[in-house]
A and B are shown apart, each in its own frame.
Chain A
Amino acid sequence: MSAPTTDHAHTVSVLRTRTTPATAVRDALVIGRRNLLRNVRLPQLLVFATVQPVMFLVLFAYVFGGAIEGTLPPAAAGEYLNWLVPGLMIQVAAFGAGQTALGLAEDLQNGVIDRFRSLPMARSAVLAGRTGADLVRNAFVIGLMVVVGSALGFRYQTTLLRFLAAFALALLFAHSLSWVMAAVGLRVRTPEAVQSAAFIPVFPLVFASSVFLPTATMPDWLRVFADNQPLTVVTNAMRGLMLGPGALPPGQDLVTEVARSLAWVAVITAIAATGAIRAYRRIAA
């Protein structure tokens, strides 16, 4: 082994001994870049994550499309695909959020979080870098839904600006769910446990909603839940933005629905982020 050019110890340290907001941002970027590199270096992960929603898109469009097109509001322009794509963007966000839990649980199990915590870096960077990277990842996967949907015939019926607003809303919602899953991942702590804790509850939430089908034909008890849970509220607002106010359930107006969606996003993010930060602190107990 050859000697390094400098001594290990007793050198005047250029290293930080304090963290500031500026170093916190830099640290989060370093961690975020590392998390994104995982998706780039192991592309099979992204492929698996996108195959399922693309399959849903194709299957639902062609299997349900014919049966349901007649019942859709005129704003969908007679195409189930136009109705389905906004819903699937939210479905992808809901299932994709589990990746946040998985990533943190893996890092905990492999000792990577211990390594990070033994460094003089900002404590916030591990969570910010994780949810930040997952936001970028979500933008890619949700964007892919739009691209594949468009190839099959999806067209937004409003303005580009409203379409982009809907996309941004989907990202904000995905980000809020990432924080929920960050809290889950830090509590259950093993990738195996994440599989059930993070993915199973998502199924009833996605199906008991307006993501795939209008809620109007659901039995009353289920409809009350479905109409008021966040996935429906956000999906409806997305449809209002992308297809026009005529896509909203009777009696609703666009501004109110967008406002309700943002309120859900804010509440979920605030509660979940608090829970995640608390869980992260508790690792040290």
Chain B
Amino acid sequence: MSDPIVHVRDVVHDFGRVRALDGVSLDVEPGVVYGLLGPNGAGKTTLIRVLATLLRPTSGSAHVAGVDVLADPTAARARIGLAGQFAAVDAYLTGRENVEMVGRLYGLRGSQARERAGEVLEAIGLADDADRRVSTYSGGMRRRLDLAASLVGRPQVMFLDEPTTGIDPRSRMEVWELVVDLVERGTTVLLTTQYLEEADRLADRIAVIDHGRIVTEGTADELKERVASAVLEVRTAPDDLERARTLLAGIVGEEPSTDPSGSALRMPARDGTGTLVAAVRALDGAGIAPEDVTLQRPSLDDVFLAVTGDVPTEVSA
């Protein structure tokens, strides 16, 4: 295992009385996509802001590309790229002007900045729209432009904070392709997401964060093994719910949880359709007619349930 390119130790950050990060430690190997998965308010943005030198944590240490971000933020900034949770681009400038400006602020001279802007706009698929004002761009295009701007400095580490939240499916696919592209070129990517599917698709390793703590860490497969590959949801008449729970517990080997609506039971289906068939048979034998039975991919809630024993509570920002 090579030396980690992102190395975080015991980072705590308090916003007044709110503890946003509660002792986070993690290591990211070079050349991977690392996913930070967690619900709203978990502390994802706060951690990214610490790593991108925007926020001094209350305590702890962080190194990026061998640079101590607290001791030498300017050196760290020359090695990182950041695309924040909202596209930070100027609507009244053209796409090219936005990217060129960032190039100049990285210290590139006029012609170098122009050349580099052309390269990244090409790479990100915006070359044809580069000379239009950003006010005419779609949300997805703005997002990609924001990414282009953060590529200008040829970062060794890219931080992407919820890169696909709030954009259309097509732009989402394009952002995913871009992340894959980046990593193939040797950039390390640390991205945050609220979607297990996204982390699953992109990330080599995933850390699940909740209430400012890393609650579990591993490859996507390791994580899902802890949750089961599928989740069975059974909806019954309210009167039958508790009987069904006892019955199904015997089949899946653990107590089913109640879904947020209160009228359905959720449980891991380790044998997939086999579990489903067994469940339906058992219910039928007990004279319970389920209203709905579905086999689902585990959601983030399921991962949380498995890892923390509790569904995530949304912390309002």
Q: Is A6 an interface position by the 8 A CB rule?
A: yes
Is B78's CB under 8 angstroms from A30's CB? no
Q: Across the two chains, which residue of chain B brings its CB closest to A23?
A: B107
Q: How large is the interface on A (under 10, 10 to 19, 20 to 34, 35 or more residues)?
A: 35 or more
| Complex-state Cα separation, A23 to B78, whole angstroms | 14
Is A114's CB under 8 angstroms from B151's CB? no
Is B82's CB under 8 angstroms from A16's CB? no
- A125: min CB distance to chain B, Å: 8
Is A9's CB under 8 angstroms from B104's CB? no
Q: Is A250 an interface position by the 8 A CB rule?
A: no
- B254: min CB distance to chain A, Å: 43
Render A97-120 as a binary contact track against B, CB cut-off 8 A, 1 for contact.
000000000000011101111111
- From A4, A26, A37, give the contact of B120 (CB < 8 A): A4
Q: Is B251 an interface position by the 8 A CB rule?
A: no
| Complex-state Cα separation, A103 to B273, whole angstroms | 58
| Complex-state Cα separation, A151 to B270, whole angstroms | 85
Q: How many residues of B contact A (CB 8 A)?
A: 52
Render B270-300 as a binary contact track against A, CB cut-off 8 A, 1 for contact.
0000000000000000000000000000000
In the bound complex, residues from chain A placing their C-beta under 8 Å from that of B88 are 110-112, 114-115
Is A30's CB under 8 angstroms from B101's CB? yes
Q: With A9-B185, A38-B90, A117-B53 known to touch, is A111 a contact of B155 (CB < 8 Å)?
A: no
Q: Across the two chains, which residue of chain A brings its CB closest to B186?
A: A9
In the bound complex, residues from chain B placing their C-beta under 8 Å from that of A3 are 123
Q: Is A256 an interface position by the 8 A CB rule?
A: no
| Complex-state Cα separation, A23 to B55, whole angstroms | 23
Q: Is B153 an interface position by the 8 A CB rule?
A: yes
- A229: min CB distance to chain B, Å: 36
Q: Is A121 an interface position by the 8 A CB rule?
A: yes
Render B70-105 as a binary contact track against A, CB cut-off 8 A, 1 for contact.
000011011110101111101011000100011011
Contact residues of A between 152 and 197, Cβ < 8 Å to B? none
In the bound complex, residues from chain B placing their C-beta under 8 Å from that of A37 are 92-93, 97
Q: With A4-B122, A17-B78, A41-B93 known to touch, is A120 a contact of B106 (CB < 8 Å)?
A: yes
- A198: min CB distance to chain B, Å: 22
- B300: min CB distance to chain A, Å: 25
Contact residues of A between 216 and 240, Cβ < 8 Å to B? none
In the bound complex, residues from chain B placing their C-beta under 8 Å from that of A114 are 49, 52, 54, 82, 84, 88
Is B105's CB under 8 angstroms from A116's CB? yes
Render B116-129 as a binary contact track against A, CB cut-off 8 A, 1 for contact.
00011011110000
In the bound complex, residues from chain A placing their C-beta under 8 Å from that of B125 are 1
- From B84, B102, B177, give the contact of A1 (CB < 8 A): B177
Is A121's CB under 8 angstroms from B105's CB? yes
In the bound complex, residues from chain A placing their C-beta under 8 Å from that of B119 are 4-6
In the bound complex, residues from chain B placing their C-beta under 8 Å from that of A121 are 105-107
Q: Is B199 an interface position by the 8 A CB rule?
A: no
Q: Is A11 an interface position by the 8 A CB rule?
A: yes
Q: Which residues of A contact B (CB under 8 A)?
A: 1-11, 13-19, 23, 26-27, 30-31, 34, 37-38, 41-42, 110-112, 114-121, 125, 284-285
A selection of 21 A-B contacts at a CB cut-off of 8 Å is: A1-B124, A1-B174, A2-B122, A8-B151, A9-B187, A13-B153, A17-B74, A18-B75, A27-B104, A30-B105, A110-B86, A111-B88, A114-B88, A115-B102, A118-B52, A118-B82, A119-B106, A119-B153, A120-B107, A121-B107, A285-B56
Pairs of residues from A and B, 4 with the lowest C-beta to C-beta distance, nearest first: A16-B107, A111-B88, A4-B123, A9-B186
